[in-house]
Structure 1
Amino acid sequence: MTAENAEQVGQFERWVRAGASVVAPATAVSAVLFYFGYVSARAQYEYFGIDVDTVGLGTQDYVMRSPQPLLAPLLVLTMLGIGVPALLSATRTRVAGNPRRARRLARACSAAGTVLACAGALLLLTYVQWQGWKLYALVTPLLTGVGAGVVAYARRVRALVRTRTPKERRPLLSGHSSDVLVVVVMAISVFWTTATVAQWSGRGLAMRQARELDRLPSVILDTRERLFLRSPGIDERVLEESPGQTFRYRYRNLRLLIHGNNRMFLVPYRWSASDSTLVVELDGSVRVQFQFQNQRP
């Protein structure tokens, strides 16, 4: 192999490594966005009695739905990213010259963090008793994550003032191992909390939609057979027979909730406890008309 060829191969390898360093994080971010978008969409359409997997949404659809449920968690994490370094800087300034105060602060934070983390672990172990609590999926990861974070802060305070002496008993786990465990617990807690927020966001979006069903696209549906719809408020009329006319029934006061996989999911124009979602296959067996909005241009 000539020097020129070797140089070209080396340059190609560098390009591959650089591309891999970009593609891998991008893939991970896309996977996270897809997951939280899916969780939100699933909770949203469950409210209307629909399994979101039957809608046929694609990866891009779920990714596009992820910003809304992720907005609040990202703002909180951003504020923590700003506040934690500032807190550590203030701690370094105030306790670096007073080891006794730092020791008391570290013990207090360690005790408080342990109590919080143990409370979260207790909720995990008693899931059967607490599963009916509406706030369980939010309080449990928050207690565990905040507890782990406070413990990590206590360890950082000890490291800043170097309070450990050679005569101290060595911990069961090395400092590096325990730090890794704390980070893992915090990461899992953040993921769980964000998933809960995404689920609540989807359910909240569904309830807001249910209050404003009349704002969804209005649909007139013609069918060949009677549908025997039980949702109140839907107008059913029998069409007059005429040569070549194959559609016999017309339904009004329907709204388009979502369309996917060559199917329409229709709901009544007004919410009721006895409402149901109508699934219509667009295979030529029905005739669909979309109405203009009742607003003069």
Structure 2
Amino acid sequence: MPPAADADGAGGVDPTTRIWVVLGSLVSQTAVLTALLYYFGWVRTKTTYGHFGVDTRLLDFSTTDYLLRSLNSVLTPLIVAGFLALALRAAHRQTVLPVITAGDRRRLVTRAVVMARGSAVLLAALVLVGLLAEDRVGASLGSALPLAMIAATGLLGYAEHLSTFTTRAVPDTGPTRVRSLALLILTLVGLLWAVSSYAVHVGREMAADVVASLPSEPELVLYSAERLAVAGPGVTVDEIGQEGSRYRYRYSGLRLLVHTRDRYVLLPAQWERGRDHVYLIPTNGNLRIDLVVHAP
């Protein structure tokens, strides 16, 4: 006897239960996505400010800050991956399918499967060598390693898909599920690795852009009630002799790297890595900051 339908005719499934299941799925997916964006934003931010020797723990960025900083590290890989997936799917439907569904299908598919698996093995060997000899091989390959890993797992999965054209439907056995799960996990790890590598690349480019644009950025003039150990190329200090002034010293030729809730991170206008200091100035009532925009 079939199960009795409930009030909404859904066959014994309470609508409230279905709603909670859907909400739980959405919440879990959102949590995973937020965690990934946070991580990519942290990688990009750590790389950028690490170029200046500033630890992100000193900046006390919020979750929102890292999420916003992740966008320029994630959008490009997602767009490229989307268009690449569409192109590969179109190539499969327009070129591969017509060939393997006509003529000697078994011979053609077998050759394609062998080629895909052979290429995957070579790529997987390259990834292993890069991981085991990271200093000599992995460092030189850089972002090519995660891309090779993605390509290897993709080719193995594609070979399994092609092999179904010459064989009858295979039941979903334990080994088959384990193989599919392993390929899925390796592909996801490769994607995370690739996006992280791209985030590092973006972070380095942004740090280089900051250094290159320092001379043209608005000048930061720092007024202090006490003398500070601030110096560097282009930095000048003047003593204020005005009677009754709250501030006694004026520092010019500085640039603002970043401002947090409790400190300013300042650089000399001609800052050079390995030569000049980065100054962390606490925000308090003994300081005043002015910005001066010079004519181009």
TM-score by length of 1: 0.85
Which of 151, 156, 161 aligns to 1:146? It is: 151
Taking structure 1 as reference, are residues 134 and 223 closer, same or farther at Cα in structure 2, changes over 3 Å only? farther
- Tell me, in whole angstroms, the C-alpha distance in 1 between the residues paired with 2:151 and 2:19: 41
Instruction: Name the SS of the counterpart of 1:66 in structure 2.
Output: helix
**3-state SS of the aligned residue for 2:247?**
coil
Tell me, what secondary structure is at the counterpart of 1:252? Answer: strand
Matched with 2:165 is: 160
User: Deviations along 1:107-135, whole A, 9 cap, x unmatched?
Assistant: 1111111111111112212225446x354
1:49 aligns with 2:53: yes
Indicate if the aligned counterparts of 1:96 and 1:102 stay in contact, CA closer than 8 A. Answer: no
Q: Does 1:107 align with 2:100?
A: no
* Aligned residues of 1:116 and 1:144 also touching (Cα < 8 A): yes
Q: 1:163 to 1:117 in 2, by over 3 A?
A: farther
What CA distance in whole angstroms lies between the structure 2 residues aligned with 1:290 and 1:134?
43
Quote how far apart the aligned CAs of 1:163 are: 8.1
Matched-pair contact (CA < 8 Å) for 2:130–2:141: no
| Per-residue Cα deviation, 1:185-210 (whole angstroms, up to 9, x for no partner) | 11111110110100110110110111
- Residue pair 2:225, 2:286 contacting (<8 A) in 1 also: yes
CA positional deviation for 1:62 = 1.0
Mapped partners of 1:75, 1:44: distance in 2: 23
Q: Is the 2:233–2:269 Cα contact (8 Å) retained in structure 1?
A: no
Q: Give the Cα–Cα distance (whole angstroms) in 1 for the partners of residues 294 and 168 of structure 2.
A: 74
Q: Which amino acid in the other structure matches residue 252 of structure 1?
A: S
Query: CA offsets, 1:46-87, max 9 Å, x none?
Result: 112211121111111111111111122112210232123223
- Asked if the contact 2:233–2:271 (Cα under 8 Å) also holds between the matched residues in 1, the reply is no
Q: Which amino acid aligns with 1:162?
A: T
Structural RMSD (CA): 2.6
**Within 5 A, what are the aligned runs for 1:78-227?**
78-89=82-93, 90-97=95-102, 98-130=105-137, 133-136=139-142, 138-162=143-167, 174-227=175-228
> How far off is 1:177 after superposition?
1.6
Structure 1 partner of 2:66: 62
Does residue 1:29 correspond to 2:33, yes or no?
yes
User: Number of residues paired by the alignment?
Assistant: 280
The Cα of 1:164 is off from its aligned counterpart by 10
Query: CA 1:196–1:36 in 2, change beyond 3 Å: closer, same or farther?
Result: same
Write the distance in 2 (CA, Å) between the matches of 1:208 and 1:237. Answer: 30
User: Which amino acid in the other structure matches residue 181 of structure 1?
Assistant: A
User: How many Å apart are 1:231 and its aligned residue?
Assistant: 1.6
TM-score (norm 2): 0.85
Match of 2:241 in 1: 240
Secondary structure, counterpart of 2:27 in structure 1: helix
How far 1:241 sits from its partner (Å)? 5.8
Query: Does the 8 Å CA contact 1:99/1:163 hold for their aligned counterparts?
Result: no
Give unpaired runs (5+ residues) of structure 2: 1-5, 8-12
- The alignment-based identity, stated in percent, is 24
Q: Specify whether residues 94 and 148 from structure 1 end up closer, same or farther in structure 2 by C-alpha distance, changes over 3 A only.
A: same
**Aligned equivalents of 1:85, 1:240: Cα separation in 2:** 74
Which has the bigger relative contact order, CA under 8 A and spacing at least 6? 1
C-alpha separation in 2, matches of 1:134 and 1:238: 52
Amino acid at match of 2:99: R
SS at match of 1:283: coil
Supply the AA of the counterpart residue of 1:158: S
Structure 1 segments of 4+ aligned residues over 4 angstroms from their partners: none
